[in-house]
Chains A and B, each alone.
Chain A
Amino acid sequence: MISIMKKNEIKKNAVSMSFVLPALILVFTFVIIPFALSFYYSFMDYNILKPKAMSFVGLDNFKKVFTDTVFLKSIYNTFRFTIFVVPLQLGVALGLALLVNKKLKGIKLFRLAFFAPTVLSLVVISILWTFIYNPNNGLLNSILNSVGIASQPFLSDPTQAMYCIVFLSAWQGAGFQMMIFLAGLQDIPTYLYEAAEVDGASKYQQFLNITLPGLKNISILLFLTITIGAVQLLIQPMMMTQGGPLNSTVTIVYEIYQTGYKYRNMGYGSAMAVVFTAIVLVIVLIQNKLIVSKED
């Protein structure tokens, strides 16, 4: 005989769980299961067009992955992109935030102007900047020419192409982090600055000793999120250069997409995805470690 109290408790739990159950079922089906499957498939030779022929191949896919020159190049390219875009975008975002954190008339319009690019889709931005970077008819070369600089090959040059993507990506994203930095700046109590002013500290000293430490937590969070976002670079190379020229803009996720979706090679593609997940985890762990050590 279940006591009345137990019955009530079960009923209460059932009601509570009914709130979270739809979300949990969906997340389980469409996030957790695929995540687990990616590990499972990585050990299989599995082409989605020939599902019955799926067979276990152990570590073969991984051996292939580490000798795949294009995939290895994609790792190199992705890191090249990340190493440049993260400091650039963060630095610009911080600079903008400092600039717009003033009580000037119309400052809100300027904030909007800087934030506007972030609202555009990456497809729109990729197409637009392909036109801008056009070596023959592009807007950028025309602007450079008008100040006496020679036309650049931009996306058609294996060396320049990735940096072009770095630049436009930072242009697109900086406004987003600017808003978060701005909120952080406005959270720093003004009396700290006033006290420092009274003590005779210069603006530069105030910046170093009040502003930067006040932004520390936000900076760490943004650094992490931009980095994770950067290593997932996909749409810009997909639309602008298709990984070229000479595979100089192939990124990890682009390779995963090509292999698993375009060529339907789910097993091999999943092995790449597993390697990618490991890379992301390592980045997260390293950054966590850096944060912990900095706080000492």
Chain B
Amino acid sequence: MRKQNNKFIQYIVLILLAVFFMFPLIWMIVSSFKNDSQIFSDISSIKAFALPAFSSNYFYNYSDCLKQLPILKSMINSFFYIGVIIIFSLIVNSLAGYGFARLDFPGKNILFTILLSLMIIPAQTVMLPLFSIVYKLGWINSYLGLIVPAIANPFYIFLFRQTFLGLPKEIEEAAKLDGANQYTIFVKLIMPLAKPIYATVAIMIFVATWNDFVWPVMVISDPSKQTIQMALSSLFSIQPVNYGRVMAGLTFVTIPVLIIFLTMQKYYVQGIVGSGSKN
């Protein structure tokens, strides 16, 4: 009997906490289907978290929002430049991770130590001068300014190196005896074995870049090239503020990340946990 009570209490606590962590999201999604007068009249009761029973057009806010701003275009923009970053980033960082894990060259240890220590530098120290460099390269208002600086990342190099170190050396040695060169070994042997870490890093890059705001704001000035977070911010600054429309925008922008998160949680959580505990 005691055990039953305990379980019951635990569930109550968990449910209360879940409500606490989820209520803003639920309010956001539900409100995206309401017009402003509905949102404000519902706000003082539990109806704030329920879909309206009757509505002339549940999706009005969504069509309004998509009309008002190039949200779709900004989504396409974001998918595009994020995709490019992911491809190059996976290649460049995993190559480097493998180099530091398995290969020898002069200065290897010093270089790796420098790389690690770079992880401590806050991005904001680098932000202003990086802007001036990108400016001088003529990459302002170009996706090059968003893509190229984002490719190499000491943290992902570190993650790849950790993974490669954990792979059995014998496979590589056997391949070398068979006369394979280092590039073949990497592409044909190592990469297939390390698929999970590639998935994990790809997701981390996607989420981080999808949510990135400050750097794109600094680099991009052309509204047609806006990234998704920039478009959202513009939506928010249109006066007068239409709650319903903004909620629709917020929900719309959150969907891709939520989908990726729900379908690939295993990899995403693995990446976080791996980076957090292996230190």
| Chain A residues near B (Cβ < 8 Å) | 12-13, 15-17, 19-20, 22-24, 26-27, 29-35, 37-38, 41, 48, 96, 99-100, 102, 104, 107, 110, 112-117, 119-124, 127-129, 131-132, 137-139, 142, 145-146, 171, 175-176, 179-180, 182-184, 187, 217-218, 221-222, 228, 231-232, 234-235, 238-239, 253, 256-257, 260-261, 266, 269-270, 273-274, 276-277, 280-281, 284
The 4 closest A-B pairs by CB, nearest first: A19-B99, A121-B211, A26-B152, A23-B96
Task: Please measure, in the bound complex, the distance between the C-alpha atom of A132 and the C-alpha atom of B93, giving whole angstroms.
Answer: 41
| Chain B residues near A (Cβ < 8 Å) | 7, 10-11, 13-14, 17-18, 21-22, 24-25, 27-28, 40, 43-45, 48, 92-93, 95-96, 98-100, 103-106, 111, 115, 118, 120-133, 135, 148-149, 151-152, 154, 157, 181-183, 186, 207, 210-211, 213-214, 218, 229, 232-233, 236, 243, 246-247, 250, 253-254, 257-258, 261-262, 265, 269, 272-273, 276-277, 279
Expressed in whole angstroms, the minimum distance between the Cβ of B27 and any Cβ of chain A is: 6
- Contact: A235 with B213, CB < 8 Å? yes
Contact count A vs B, C-beta below 8 Å = 249
Task: Please measure, in the bound complex, the distance between the C-alpha atom of A96 and the C-alpha atom of B135, giving whole angstroms.
Answer: 45
- Contact: A34 with B129, CB < 8 Å? yes
- Contact: A142 with B133, CB < 8 Å? no
- Contact: A27 with B152, CB < 8 Å? yes
Q: Of B121, B132, B233, which one neighbours A239 at CB under 8 angstroms? A: B233
Residue among A19, A23, A171, A176 with the highest chain B CB neighbour number at 10 A: A23
- Contact: A145 with B96, CB < 8 Å? no
Across the two chains, which residue of chain A brings its CB closest to B23?
Answer: A139
- Contact: B233 with A276, CB < 8 Å? no
Q: Of B43, B131, B214, which one neighbours A234 at CB under 8 angstroms? A: B214
Which chain A residues border B269 with CB–CB below 8 Å?
A: 115, 179
A256 and B124 in contact (CB under 8 A), knowing A26-B92, A116-B25, A131-B243?
Answer: yes
Which chain B residues border A180 with CB–CB below 8 Å?
A: 272-273, 276-277
- Contact: B133 with A15, CB < 8 Å? no
- Contact: B126 with A132, CB < 8 Å? no
Q: Could you name 26 residue pairs across A and B whose Cβ atoms are closer than 8 Å?
A: A15-B181, A15-B182, A16-B105, A22-B96, A23-B92, A26-B92, A26-B151, A29-B133, A30-B133, A31-B121, A38-B126, A41-B129, A99-B17, A112-B262, A119-B207, A120-B25, A121-B229, A123-B211, A123-B213, A132-B24, A183-B277, A221-B279, A256-B128, A257-B214, A261-B218, A280-B125
Since A13-B106, A34-B129 are in contact, a sample of 9 more A-B pairs with Cβ atoms closer than 8 Å, ordered by chain A residue number, is: A15-B183, A19-B99, A33-B129, A99-B13, A120-B254, A131-B243, A176-B272, A234-B214, A257-B124
Expressed in whole angstroms, the minimum distance between the Cβ of A227 and any Cβ of chain B is: 11
Which chain A residues border B133 with CB–CB below 8 Å?
A: 29-30, 33-34, 37
- Contact: A121 with B210, CB < 8 Å? yes
Across the two chains, which residue of chain B brings its CB closest to A229?
Answer: B122
Across the two chains, which residue of chain B brings its CB closest to A111?
Answer: B269
- Contact: B95 with A22, CB < 8 Å? yes
- Contact: A20 with B111, CB < 8 Å? yes
Task: Please measure, in the bound complex, the distance between the C-alpha atom of A124 and the C-alpha atom of B269, giving whole angstroms.
Answer: 21
Which chain A residues border B253 with CB–CB below 8 Å?
A: 121, 124
- Contact: A31 with B118, CB < 8 Å? yes
Which chain A residues border B157 with CB–CB below 8 Å?
A: 23
A119 and B261 in contact (CB under 8 A), knowing A16-B105, A22-B152, A30-B130?
Answer: yes
Which chain B residues border A107 with CB–CB below 8 Å?
A: 14
Which chain B residues border A138 with CB–CB below 8 Å?
A: 43
Which chain B residues border A96 with CB–CB below 8 Å?
A: 17
Which chain B residues border A27 with CB–CB below 8 Å?
A: 115, 118, 152, 154
Task: Please measure, in the bound complex, the distance between the C-alpha atom of A104 and the C-alpha atom of B15, giving whole angstroms.
Answer: 13
Which chain A residues border B14 with CB–CB below 8 Å?
A: 99-100, 104, 107, 110
Task: Please measure, in the bound complex, the distance between the C-alpha atom of A33 and the C-alpha atom of B214, giving whole angstroms.
Answer: 20
Which chain A residues border B96 with CB–CB below 8 Å?
A: 19-20, 22-24
